[in-house]
Chains A and B, each alone.
Chain A
Amino acid sequence: MTSADVQKRTPLTALADRARGFHLGTFWDRWGITAVFVILVIAAIIIQPGVDRGAFLNILNITSLLKEASYLGIVACAMTFAVINGTFDLSVGGQLALTSIVSLLAFGIGGSGLAIAAAIGTGIACGLVNSLLVTAMRVPPFVATLGMLFVFRGIGTLLTADGPAKLPYADFGSVFGQIGKISFGGIPLVFVIMVVFFGVGFVILRRTGLGRQVIAFGSSPAAAKFSGISATKIRFFVFVFLGLSVGIAALTYVTRIGTADGAAQDGFELRVITAAVLGGASLQGGKGSLVGTFSAVMLVTVLNDLFRDLQVDSAWQRIILGCVLVVALAIDGLRTKFPGFSVFRRVTALRDQRMASAG
């Protein structure tokens, strides 16, 4: 009876909160991680790490930072689609390694044009494989993409059995090599690519029927099915979109690193999922924000840069990053009343009950 009371009251309190104009919870949902990112940047400017021309605001540092963010960001954008859709792709690390290798090998055969086509093509092909496994073969996405992670990395290792694929130093000046190098007044091309990708992603997610179907399916697959949304079509799109994103990301990655083998970017999938989740996407589906993911990618990149400049020991870097993730989700948990916080809920419920009987 008490729980029913509380539940009945909830919509009312929510309404009352909204009526007040500013609601911290809503603000956190929409801008929380962005706000944390802004605070971190301000902190970085105040601390000003670096050697002598070294301030954080140094244009060179910012250019490098934006370059570093881009390949993670592009895949994190597509991963946000997947997480909103209630799934995720564990194979993106393998896809990135394989796509980078194929692209480098293609450069050796046919130059810049073939290398770019090979990257995009391989990315989409990897996405298609995942799509087919998940939709046609009905393999659960977790298992399908975990399996393909090993397969993609394995193929990558086979292709680089005679040593890592590489972009020869002399070819850093080629069109392909320039992708990772060019910048316009401090803004690198690869970052522009990332921003455009996010822009396109935002339009698809928020302004098209396809995007709404992705969200609807994520919040309630059953309801979506009854509304005539095809689960197969949506999942197919999500995984191919991820493959495409990896193809583009590989171009921004490999032109900067210049080498790849089957073990390249180990653990990439977890960094991508971390960024999406830190950005506010819920692994239960239905919830997520591209603005949040963008901010999370920038946050993680700036944090890494600060760690480096401040010479933080690598063990501490891992601990702090882990804590940031857990704290962000703890806040989210409190906010969305994640079942894990039952003690907290019980306390507040008791208090509400008392207040209800008092009032």
Chain B
Amino acid sequence: MKHTKKWLVAAAIATSAAVALTGCTGATTDDGAADSDITVGFSVYDMQYEFFQAMAAGTKEAVEANGWKYVEHDEKSDENEMVTGAIALLDSGIDVLIISPFKPDALGSIVDHAKELGVPVIVDDIGGGGTDYDAIVVSDNKDGGVQAAGYIDETVQALGLTSKKVVSITCQPDAVYAAQRNIGYEDQITSLGYEVATSLSGDSDATKAYTIMKDALAKDPDVSAVFACNDDMAVAASNAIADAGKVPGKDIVVVGYNGDPSALEAIQAGTVNATVAQDPNGMGKLTVELAKTLLDGGKITFGDDENREVYNPVTLVTSDNVADFVK
């Protein structure tokens, strides 16, 4: 009898938990309902990062501007969650899958399943994993590198620097899209008559970039500019220049990539000259535009046909326009 009483208490706890559970899940069912039979599913890399928040916001805006329904899934930087969640999106009956994959190599079973269901897949950034996706949107990284080179040339002349030696710090070699930044930069700066004295991989890592810049300065003290594949490395290179007794931004032009807050601050402080900002919001909008083209039976114009790449423009951020990017 004692046990039965105890059991009533336990059952009460269980019931209230169940009610709380259904109550809390039930509340979210009615959001995002629009009058349309087209639903776009967006599986996002990780909503903890500002970059992907902006990407999701852009995607959502564009989807809703078309009067379509938007469903979102957060991969939470987990390949299992990515596959399971994206497949659940497909199973739930979406008409287009847009995905920024945490692990491009894990796209296989997702794209496979989408093909079986006849749902087009548009990859947003990161990489396509060699799968059969319909299109991939990436920042125009090569053009970003070219813009950086042009800016460096102008600034070097404006500052009255005479040396034609420059440094290039790359990301890890297997990041194929990021590698385009330095390829664009090195090609352009060489054609402008400069010599790339040092070109080494900093593995996207600030500490390594610092060492590379220090060594580069020991080898060629008269270097006039450095371009780094990401902003952390650019800031580190700037520190290395200061520690070597030179004035970063004046004696040596420093340009980074991404438009991270760290670089924006450094641009305001004058220790970094410029960065190239990607536009995740615009990338999100572009994926939806491509989705519309596919659903209307149209053909996508690729920037690179072989890899079905579509490029999204990037913006050079200097002290002139940095205020627009600081939040």
- Listed in ascending order, the chain A residues whose CB lies under 8 Å from chain B are 13-14, 16-17, 23-25, 28, 36, 39, 43, 47, 49-54, 58, 60-61, 64, 68, 162-164, 166-170, 172, 180-181, 253, 256-260, 264-266, 304-312, 314, 316, 320, 323-324, 327, 330-331, 334-335, 348, 351-352
In the complex, besides A47-B29, A164-B105, 8 extra interface pairs with C-beta distance below 8 angstroms are A25-B6, A50-B93, A52-B39, A258-B107, A259-B79, A310-B29, A327-B13, A334-B10
Q: Cβ of B91 and Cβ of A61 under 8 Å apart?
A: yes
The residue of chain B having its C-beta at the shortest distance from the C-beta of A180 within the complex is B109
Residues of A with C-beta under 8 A to B87: 64
Considering the complex, give the chain A residue whose CB is closest to the CB of B83: A257
Q: Mostly helix, strand, loop or mixed at chain A's interface?
A: helix
Q: Could you tell me which B residues sit within 8 Å of A by CB distance?
A: 1-7, 9-11, 13-14, 17-18, 20-22, 24-26, 28-29, 31-32, 37, 39, 47, 69, 71-74, 76, 78-80, 83-85, 87-94, 103, 105-109, 111-112, 129-132, 174
Which residue of A53, A168, A304, A323 is within 8 Å of B93 (Cβ)?
A: A53
A311→B112 contact, CB < 8 A = no
| CB nearest neighbor in B for A255 | B109
Distance A181 CA – B110 CA, assembled complex (angstroms): 11
With contacts A13-B3, A61-B88 taken as known, whether A256 is within 8 angstroms of B28 at the C-beta atoms is: no
B244 CB to nearest A CB, Å: 31
Closest chain B CB from A14 CB (angstroms) = 8
Our count of residue pairs bridging A and B at CB distance below 8 angstroms stands at 158
Task: Indicate if the CB atoms of A331 and B14 lie closer than 8 Å.
Answer: yes
B174 pairs with A162, CB closer than 8 A:
yes
Whether the Cβ atoms of A47 and B25 lie closer than 8 Å is yes
Can you list 9 pairs linking A and B with CB atoms under 8 Å apart?
Answer: A47-B29, A52-B39, A172-B112, A181-B112, A257-B106, A309-B92, A310-B26, A311-B28, A334-B9
Q: Contact: B79 with A264, CB < 8 Å? A: yes
Within the assembled complex, what's the spacing in Å between the Cα atoms of A259 and B108? 9
Indicate if the CB atoms of A58 and B10 lie closer than 8 Å. Answer: no
Instruction: Kindly provide the distance from the CB of A313 to the nearest chain B CB, expressed in whole angstroms.
Output: 8
B107 to chain A, nearest CB (A): 8
B251 to chain A, nearest CB (A): 37
Do A253 and B80 contact each other (CB < 8 Å), given the known contacts A50-B92, A58-B91, A169-B111?
Answer: yes
**Is the CB–CB distance between B108 and A17 below 8 Å?**
no
Closest residue of chain B to A349 (Cβ to Cβ) is: B2
Contact of B106 among A60, A259, A305 (CB under 8 A): A259
Nearest CB on A from B35, distance (A): 13
| Nearest CB on B from A101, distance (A) | 12
Are A314 and B76 in contact, CB atoms less than 8 angstroms apart? yes
CA distance A304 to B21 in the complex (A): 12
Cβ contact within 8 Å between B25 and A172: no
- Our pick among A47, A54, A265 for the contact of B22 (Cβ within 8 Å) is A47
Contacts of A167 in B (CB 8 A): 105, 108
| 5 tightest A-B CB contacts, nearest first | A259-B105, A53-B93, A166-B105, A60-B91, A24-B7
Chain A minimum-CB-distance residue to B7:
A24
Residues of A within 8 A of B109 (CB): 172, 180-181, 256-258
Q: Are the C-beta atoms of B130 and A168 separated by less than 8 Å?
A: yes
Instruction: Count chain A CB atoms within 10 A of each CB in B2, B32, B74, B85 and give the residue with the most.
Output: B2
Residues of A within 8 A of B83 (CB): 256-258
Chain B residue nearest in CB terms to A332 = B10
| Cross-chain contact B88 with A306 (CB below 8 angstroms) | no
- Selected from A28, A47, A257, the residue in CB contact (under 8 A) with B26 is A47
A23 / chain B contacts, CB cutoff of 8 Å: 3
- Complex alpha-carbon distance, A87 and B69, angstroms: 49
Contacts of B28 in A (CB 8 A): 310-312
Question: From A335, which residue of chain B is reached at the shortest CB distance?
Answer: B10
Q: How far is the CB of B175 from chain A (nearest CB, A)?
A: 10
Q: Nearest chain-B residue to A267 (Cβ)? A: B78
CB neighbours of B2 from chain A (8 A): 13, 348, 351-352
Shortest Cβ distance from residue A265 to the other chain B in the assembled complex, whole angstroms: 6
**Residues of B close to A310: CB separation below 8 A:** 25-26, 28-29
Decide: A306 and B25 in contact? CB cutoff 8 A.
yes
Please name all residues of chain B whose beta carbon is closer than 8 Å to the beta carbon of A323 when the two chains form the complex.
17, 20
Q: Are B3 and A25 in contact (CB under 8 A)?
A: yes
From A49, A166, A324, contact of B29 by CB (8 A)? A49
Partner of B39, one of A13, A49, A51, A68: A51
Per the bound structure, the CA–CA distance linking A68 and B82 in Å amounts to: 12
Residues of B within 8 A of A172 (CB): 108-109, 112
